[in-house]
Amino acid sequence: MPSMLDEATRRQHKQRNLLHSLLLFGGMGAVLALATWLIWGGAGVLVTAVAVVALFALAPRLPAEAVMRLYRARPIDRSHGGQLLALVDELSARAGLQSPPKLYVVPSSTLNAFATGTRGHAAIAVTEGLLRQLTMREIAGVLAHEISHVVNNDLWVMGLADTMSRLTQSLTYVALVLAILNIPGTLLGDPMISWWPILLLYLAPTISNLLQLGLSRAREYDADLEAALMTGDPIGLASALRRLDRLTGHFWEDMMMPVPARRIPVPSVLRSHPDTEERIARLLKLQIRPDMKQIEVAETPMVTMVGWGPIEMRPRYRFPGVWF
């Protein structure tokens, strides 16, 4: 994929995002290794590492099509969503994918998009609400962001992180059992083991979950960068993020106390996605090379994908009048 950013800027962003991912992923591994070492020693660490690999390799995974059926998503065909499919084809070619992800629409008024599957067999779902609310330029940024997750193997990375987190979660029950067994000895003045390892075992899942959320946020930053590389248009993705942040939620949430309730920011460490304003600020700082053209997006009228009536489009001035 040819770089559409200034090479120094691109290298700086890639190195920072890669370092964050390595540190967070390594932190999750360190927490799991330390927790198992406290119980079984060095042999326990080795057994746990083998267990993580085995669970991740052998765990049943739903095919991309099955995941889409769970969401009642429908594949987009050329006759109704040709411009969207053409956009995915162009973005996939720029990203270097041998086969473009399949595109589905979810019959929901929420504003969301996600990717699933593997790099060689991926699927992207967008909701009807997102198609109604965003311009094609903004939709191009969102699709490029999801394709970036596929290209960067983020689905694989987050799947492995989830396996490690779930295995660490099981240590909570071990800590509870050890605590129960340790109480009689503590009352008699001769505890079986120290309480500090038990406390660490109990807190290990929480620490691992926080690191997993941090890893997710780091991968989101990287996907934003790759999306800007694909489209040559970081402003389009920034506009989509700003619009999604403004439209997400319901009006009655603004009527709850304290007002406005849904605008109270969640602590950053508890988010799976970075703060929207920070993502927008990073995108707007990117320096696009002047010799690279942004992707051409056709803003043509679009019919609904799921039978709700025409998708709302902004008026387009065409001879001999106004088209929608």
> Which residue in 277, 272, 210 sits closest to 244, CA to CA?
277
Burial 10-19 (b: 16+ CB within 10 A, else e): beebeeebee
For residue 97, the tally of other CB atoms under 10 A from its CB is 19
Q: Is residue 312 annotated as a catalytic residue, yes or no? A: no
> Which residue in 147, 5, 32, 125 sits closest to 74, CA to CA?
125
Cα 102 from Cα 80, distance rounded (Å): 15
Secondary structure of 270-298 in the HEC alphabet? HCCCCCHHHHHHHHHHCCECCCCCCCCCC
**Burial class, 120, CB count within 10 angstroms (exposed 0-12 / middle 13-18 / buried 19+):** exposed
Q: Where are the beta strands (DSSP E) in 80-140?
A: 102-106, 113-117, 122-127
Burial 223-242 (b: 16+ CB within 10 A, else e): bbbbbbbbbbbbbbbbbbbe
Q: Which of 146, 220, 226, 253 is catalytic?
A: 146
Residue 224 parent element (H or E):
helix 195-231
Q: Which residues are tagged catalytic?
A: 146
